Structure 1
Amino acid sequence: MWKFNEDFSFVRQGIQFILLSMIFLIVIGLGGDKFYGIFGENNYVAIHLMMEILIIVVTMAISIQTWLISPYILSNRVLYVGALFLTFSLIEIAHALSYKGMPFFITESTPYAATWFYMLGRLLLSIGFLAIYFVKEKKIKLIYRWLIYSLPIVIVISCVVIIYAPTPILPPLIIEGEGPTVLKNTLQYIAVAFFLVIMVLLLKNFNKAPKIVFLLLGSSIYLIMSDFLFTIYQDVYDIKNFIGHIFELSAFYLLFRAIYFSSIEKPFQQLIDTQGHLEKSREKMHYMAYHNEATNLPNERFLMELLKSNLYISKSQKAILAIGIERISTIKASLGSTYADQMIKLIAQRLKNVLPEEYPLTMPREDYFVVFIDEVNNIHQLTQLSQQLQLVMEESFQIQHFSLNSQLNIGIALFPTDSYREEELVRFALYAMHEAHKTPTRIQFYESSMSSRMTERLLLENDLHDALANQELFLEYQPQLDLQTGQVKSVEALVRWKHPKKGWISPGVFIPIAEESGLIIPIGQWVLETACKQVKRWEGAGLPPIKVAVNLSLGQLFQQNLVGMIHNVLEKTQLEPQYLQLEITESMTINIDHMTTILHQLKALGITIAVDDFGTGYSSLSYLKDFPIDCLKIDRSFVQKIQSSSTDKALVDTILSVAKHLQLKVVAEGIEEIEQLSYLITSNCDTVQGFLFSKPIHPNILQENYQTLHENAKSILDSITAIKE
């Protein structure tokens, strides 16, 4: 679409031409007779000659211009236009030389020859333009320039031969003392008709090249106006004849402007615009090369150049703060990049609000920030700043319908204490950042021992990516004893990893790695599907129905297709939903709205929901009335101190009391001693699990020793009964 503001200059010129035209027309309408012969009758030949010279100059300039640009454009249309104007220019020369009052040109100057040269030029121009419009544009060879430009010579010579034939072939167009004949006016109106057709065709293509079409339309209008005036003037001294020549000259000027714009000005402007866009693209590429796309913060390249130019200016103590965003990989894996990027932007804004301007905040990677402090007065300064940064994370991040929480793990490396090299300094700060989550404050200064531990962790994470495909992961199942029946009616599925070189890897080591890297999503789905398949295998082997409990990670709970995935697993394994129990932790319940929706959808499938490690989290107990929970699991840390700690004993009693009033089942974990079991039986606990009955075991061993498990359990329960009696 044509933008008026961008082309206002030529619109303004058009308005000026229109105003000038109106002035001339007003002169004609109000006082045409008063201006008859105003320039003096003896001067009209000279005036006519000057007007014709200007027209010849403009039309010849158009012809020469197209000739010069044709080697670079090689368009048949461009060459035809140039040849057309060369023809017109030569005919116009013949018209000027043959005008009455001019010196001898072939014969005595007469209105007959001059008028016919003029009319042939005008008809040739209108018909030529219309013909060129319908010619299909194509590239031609350079040699055709000479052939096409030789045609005007042939045409002009033919016109001269016809007009100056010894016996006149053509009828006269002007009768002295009377003015134009009917034939002249008819031919003039035919030329006008052709120009009207051209105008209609131009209007249809206005949006394609508005400025060029605008100029061509203006030129056509002026030519039509000149034709009209040339049909009504009385003789050469009439002001209408002079103004007609003014309009004709203006028309050719606009034509010259149109061709100049299309062939020179527009390409040149496009070149300037292209250079401008290229410069902007270079600036944008430079900006992108040094800034993070999601946050527009300086990236790793910027950070390294900043350190190289500022780290060694003085020997004063400097620091690198690596700020890790906890669970961002899990959020990205479960909710997608959009949510993760929005959360990172919000975190970045909060951090920038806290950091002084002289401490640049950069983002080398998508899950952590780096701050460079070029002058450290004391260590307390760094600790205090880190605590201020952590405070901004206390308020939840509201992203669409999710209320997301995270924490910052901050690692600090000092220059020159820890390293003199910028790459090492950043790497050591990252090592400290990864170790920070193990400390209560989540703030950790770099220590030399961290390098080996971090290297080991990175290698382990890399191996974990292949653990599923290489079948290094497997499940063990810990039986859960129903204290009312003395039967094993349920088990808890626990994932294990046997590394091909390092042997057994503790879940406490690889599960946090899986959560931070986002691998917990595929691993969690594999655990769920494997556990459901195993229950069906036990059923096929003749064992009574067994319920399996599977832990859900936080990343899985924010997985967009969690409910659909679990539904598909149940259908695929043909397991009845009541034999699957999903376990969540209290720390997951902080997002009440999201959790309520998800848990109700899971309950609608027919599965049961348990809260694992109950009492160790920090959530409000109000979620117990909002969530569709079936079971509470008492953490082993409470159970193991029942005999020695009155506080833990009171907590266990409280949990059992809450569960009883809310009609929830209770599972006690970590039962290792007879006394612990005895107390739980007395307190009416529903189910227990622990080494007293069985450690987690391979599914085949559980199947083979199912009866033995019951016999051992009965023996233990009988011994407690005997003691009480």
Structure 2
Amino acid sequence: MWKFNENFSSLRHGIQFILFSMIFLIVIGLGSEKFYGIFGENNYSAIHLMMEILIIVVTMSISIQTWLISPYILSNRVLYIGSLFLTISFIEIAHTLTYKGMPFFITESTPYAATWFYMLGRLLLSIGVLCIYFVKEKEIKLIYRWLIYSLPFVIIISCFGILYAPTPILPPLMIEGEGPNLLKNTLQYTAIALHLVIMVISLKNFKKAPKIIFLLLCSSIYLIMSDYLYTIYKDVYDIKNFTGHIFELGAFYLLFRAIYFSSIERPFKQLVDTQEHLEKSREKMHYMAYHNEITNLPNERFLMESLKRDLYISKSQKAILAIGIERISAIKASLGSTYADQMISLIAHRLKNALPEKHLLCMLREDYFVVYIDEVKSTHQLTHLSQQLQFVMEESFQIQHFSLNSQLNIGIALFPTNSYREEELIRFALYAMHEAQKTSTRIRFYESSISNETTQRLLLENDLHDALANQELFLEYQPQLDLHTGQIKSVEALVRWQHPKKGWISPGVFIPIAEESGLIIPIGQWVLETACKQVKKWEAAGLPPIKVAVNLSLGQLFQQNLVEMILNVLEKTQLEPQYLQLEITESMTINIDHMTTILHKLKALGVTIAVDDFGTGYSSLSYLKDFPIDCLKIDRSFVQKIQSNSTDKALVDMILSMAKHLQLKVVAEGIEEIEQLSYLVESKCDTVQGFLFSKPIPPNILQENYQRLHNDAKYILDSITDSITVSE
């Protein structure tokens, strides 16, 4: 931006410079005869003296400026420029003292010495600048500036020696009454040619430093103008001579500006820009330190400082609402952080719009929000506000091609009822938030009994992170009996956790923790791979082919590489796809578009797909025609009351009839009594599993007792068949 402003400024000043110069030259050219001797012949010495003093001041300023900055910019070019302009300053002083009309100096003043001093200074300027252009810039020692700055004294003494020699060494340059002679004009045009070369060289570097090069170009143009005017004036009273001095003064001033800008102004602007950048960086760092990067909401540090400042101003009731996002960990683990971050950002936007401005909404780590309410009139107010926040979450979030839903679990802690300390208030609200998911409203006020339960749950989640690595998880397999053949042709793989200190942990306890924390993804992959390997081991041990059923979690179904992962497992274990059955639940079928796509891809692998716990979900049955489903599993809650509850019996009959018409297999779970099995045999159910035949058992036990399990099953089925025959 600074570079753009510099270029724009250079262009604007360039236009002004050209217009001014053209107007000035036109006026002088048209009225040169009228302006002859306009200041009075007796005043021209004084006018020339003033002009030369200004030129001397400018050239001396350039020299002094470079001298002063040389200790900080140890550049050979800088020192050469300073030495050059000190020399020119000395020559201009000599030119001024020897000018016609000045008092006696060494000899009577004549055009001879004055003109030669001017011409030497002019040639020295062009040649010196050109040489400095071609000198390679390098850093030199500070002591060398004394040596370099001593050269002007040597040069000016030499000039005096040549020009004031008893016998003139150099020919005259001026003819009194006629103006410059041929030699003077030749030298003047030589200086012009040298400066044209300097301009060409400068233009090649324009992009590197536009303002500096622009000033140098303008200076060169002014010098060329002055050179031209010095070649056509008649005598010292000619307006062209005065104008030439004006342009010469302007040229040196522009040179001074260029050096001043490059050595002082530009470094200063760069320093100011750097300071502004640092200040903005500090502001940005401060903002980042107190705000969440994803949502731009205040973070935990901001909240804690606000609570320390405001919580104790009055003892009026205040509240902390901890808001947990349902399924966000599973989305992050399955779809990736990008989707999860977008969803968090959209949720933050909705919450912010739903909350009154006086409430402080913060985003804390671990994907949850906190609302600080500094004035609470009643708990009903908090409940109503929580319900409003949950209501705005009902509409799905459209993130790319996914339509995602989420619910809020809200925990509430009160000041000073629950605690006087800000850290405890936040912690208690989080405890209540974790417990809120167990309630129908998903809103929970903190109670002292919650702390122990939440602490145990958090400890269990922490232990679950290491369970896989420590080989604490294992699989058991429950046989599934084919009622048509009386053989065990399939099993269901069920994950178990043997905690080293707490013993056996129920899947009903640790599976929800795994799903919430995102651990279900690595655990699910391990279960799938272990189950497929086990089927191949049984086959190697001589058992007939067995199909294994593995449950898929919701998080896995949103896993981006699920199909590739299953394919890799099948290839790695060399298990034929028809011996793997993947089980989903009805609650997973809410997002029909995504499920249809993913299930068709899985079906294309050759695996079979079953709907577990059929009849307990809330989704439309239309998915049965859209999804490539092979099997329905009747939930144990219907089977267990099949003899005593006519409604459950009717539901089982309906499921069996519907499956028959849709050409789907049916597996009944939870068979524990002969009467249940007898009814299912009569109803033409395909497969059953339950404690009546076998509980879930380790793979080695199943292998060792495979024949005995068959014999027991055959005995039970034969007894049922005999009973049915007798009754008929």
What TM-score do the two structures reach when normalised by structure 2? 0.97
Given the alignment of the two structures, is residue 39 of structure 1 paired with residue 39 of structure 2, yes or no?
yes
- Report the equivalent of 1:205: 205
Aligned with 2:146: secondary structure? helix
Given the alignment of the two structures, is residue 29 of structure 1 paired with residue 59 of structure 2, yes or no?
no
Amino acid at match of 1:196: L
* 1:16 shift after superposition: 3.3
Structure 2: distance between partners of 1:200 and 1:666: 91
- Report the equivalent of 2:552: 552
* 1:441 shift after superposition: 1.0
Deviations 1:297-318 (A, max 9, x none): 1111111111122222222222
Structure 1: distance between partners of 2:420 and 2:645: 52
* 1:717 shift after superposition: 0.9
Point out the more displaced range, 575-584 or 224-233: 224-233
Amino acid at match of 2:134: F
Amino acid at match of 2:202: L
Given the alignment of the two structures, is residue 687 of structure 1 paired with residue 687 of structure 2, yes or no?
yes
- Report the equivalent of 1:656: 656
Given the alignment of the two structures, is residue 333 of structure 1 paired with residue 339 of structure 2, yes or no?
no
- Report the equivalent of 1:667: 667
- Report the equivalent of 1:427: 427
Asked if structure 2 preserves the Cα contact closer than 8 Å seen for 1:583 and 1:610, the reply is yes
Deviations 1:208-258 (A, max 9, x none): 222222211211111121112222222222222211111111111111111
Structure 2 vs 1, CA of residues 235 and 355 (structure 1 numbering), >3 Å: closer, same or farther?
same
Residue correspondences, number = 725
- Report the equivalent of 1:704: 704
Amino acid at match of 2:607: I
Alignment of 1:4-83 (within 5 A): 4-5=4-5, 8-9=8-9, 11-83=11-83
- Report the equivalent of 2:253: 253
Structure 2: distance between partners of 1:120 and 1:132: 18
Aligned with 1:73: secondary structure? coil
Structure 2: distance between partners of 1:136 and 1:610: 81
- Report the equivalent of 1:117: 117
- Report the equivalent of 2:147: 147
Aligned with 2:696: secondary structure? coil
Structure 2: distance between partners of 1:184 and 1:617: 107
Alignment of 1:215-230 (within 5 A): 215-230=215-230
- Report the equivalent of 1:344: 344
Structure 2 vs 1, CA of residues 565 and 179 (structure 1 numbering), >3 Å: closer, same or farther?
same
* 1:12 shift after superposition: 4.1
* 1:6 shift after superposition: 5.4
Asked if structure 1 preserves the Cα contact closer than 8 Å seen for 2:335 and 2:558, the reply is yes
Structure 2 vs 1, CA of residues 2 and 355 (structure 1 numbering), >3 Å: closer, same or farther?
closer
Given the alignment of the two structures, is residue 399 of structure 1 paired with residue 399 of structure 2, yes or no?
yes
Structure 1: distance between partners of 2:646 and 2:163: 130
Structure 2: distance between partners of 1:195 and 1:484: 108
Structure 1: distance between partners of 2:632 and 2:378: 48
Point out the more displaced range, 691-700 or 254-263: 254-263
Asked if structure 2 preserves the Cα contact closer than 8 Å seen for 1:2 and 1:210, the reply is no
- State the superposition RMSD in angstroms: 1.6
Structure 1: distance between partners of 2:617 and 2:653: 17
Structure 1: distance between partners of 2:604 and 2:428: 49
* 1:534 shift after superposition: 0.7
Aligned with 2:377: secondary structure? coil
Given the alignment of the two structures, is residue 271 of structure 1 paired with residue 283 of structure 2, yes or no?
no
Structure 2 vs 1, CA of residues 402 and 46 (structure 1 numbering), >3 Å: closer, same or farther?
same
Structure 2: distance between partners of 1:367 and 1:254: 62
- Report the equivalent of 1:621: 621
Alignment of 1:158-557 (within 5 A): 158-557=158-557
* 1:178 shift after superposition: 2.6
Structure 2: distance between partners of 1:345 and 1:412: 23
Amino acid at match of 2:321: L
Residue identity over aligned pairs, in percent, reads 87
* 1:654 shift after superposition: 2.1
Asked if structure 1 preserves the Cα contact closer than 8 Å seen for 2:529 and 2:569, the reply is yes
Structure 2: distance between partners of 1:294 and 1:238: 76
* 1:104 shift after superposition: 2.1
Aligned with 2:460: secondary structure? helix
Structure 2: distance between partners of 1:79 and 1:3: 27
Asked if structure 2 preserves the Cα contact closer than 8 Å seen for 1:2 and 1:207, the reply is no
Structure 2: distance between partners of 1:276 and 1:424: 41
Asked if structure 1 preserves the Cα contact closer than 8 Å seen for 2:6 and 2:211, the reply is no
Asked if structure 2 preserves the Cα contact closer than 8 Å seen for 1:229 and 1:241, the reply is yes
Asked if structure 2 preserves the Cα contact closer than 8 Å seen for 1:480 and 1:688, the reply is yes
Structure 2: distance between partners of 1:329 and 1:190: 81
Asked if structure 2 preserves the Cα contact closer than 8 Å seen for 1:24 and 1:243, the reply is no
- Report the equivalent of 2:715: 715
Structure 1: distance between partners of 2:721 and 2:484: 13
Amino acid at match of 1:665: K
Deviations 1:41-84 (A, max 9, x none): 22222221111111110110111111111112222221111111
Point out the more displaced range, 540-549 or 449-458: 449-458
Amino acid at match of 1:175: I
Structure 2: distance between partners of 1:159 and 1:418: 97
- Report the equivalent of 1:135: 135
Deviations 1:158-212 (A, max 9, x none): 2222222222222222222332222222222222222222222222222222222
Asked if structure 2 preserves the Cα contact closer than 8 Å seen for 1:59 and 1:89, the reply is yes
Amino acid at match of 1:317: Q
Asked if structure 1 preserves the Cα contact closer than 8 Å seen for 2:563 and 2:602, the reply is yes
Structure 2: distance between partners of 1:383 and 1:406: 19
Deviations 1:499-539 (A, max 9, x none): 11111111111111111111111111111111111111111
Aligned with 2:142: secondary structure? coil
Asked if structure 2 preserves the Cα contact closer than 8 Å seen for 1:582 and 1:608, the reply is yes
Given the alignment of the two structures, is residue 640 of structure 1 paired with residue 640 of structure 2, yes or no?
yes
* 1:594 shift after superposition: 1.7
Deviations 1:77-128 (A, max 9, x none): 2111111111111111111111122222222222222122112111211121
Structure 2: distance between partners of 1:568 and 1:170: 98
Deviations 1:381-413 (A, max 9, x none): 111111111111111100111111111111111
Structure 2: distance between partners of 1:452 and 1:469: 27
Structure 2: distance between partners of 1:622 and 1:199: 83
Structure 1: distance between partners of 2:171 and 2:301: 85
* 1:3 shift after superposition: 4.7
Asked if structure 1 preserves the Cα contact closer than 8 Å seen for 2:633 and 2:669, the reply is yes
Amino acid at match of 2:238: D
* 1:544 shift after superposition: 0.9
Structure 2: distance between partners of 1:186 and 1:539: 109
* 1:9 shift after superposition: 4.9
What TM-score do the two structures reach when normalised by structure 1? 0.97
* 1:15 shift after superposition: 3.5
Aligned with 2:70: secondary structure? helix
Point out the more displaced range, 488-497 or 658-667: 658-667
Aligned with 2:267: secondary structure? helix
Given the alignment of the two structures, is residue 600 of structure 1 paired with residue 607 of structure 2, yes or no?
no
Amino acid at match of 1:634: I
Aligned with 2:406: secondary structure? coil
Structure 2: distance between partners of 1:597 and 1:572: 25
In structure 1, stretches of 5+ residues that fail to align are none
Aligned with 1:194: secondary structure? helix
Structure 2: distance between partners of 1:659 and 1:196: 97
Structure 2: distance between partners of 1:183 and 1:594: 93
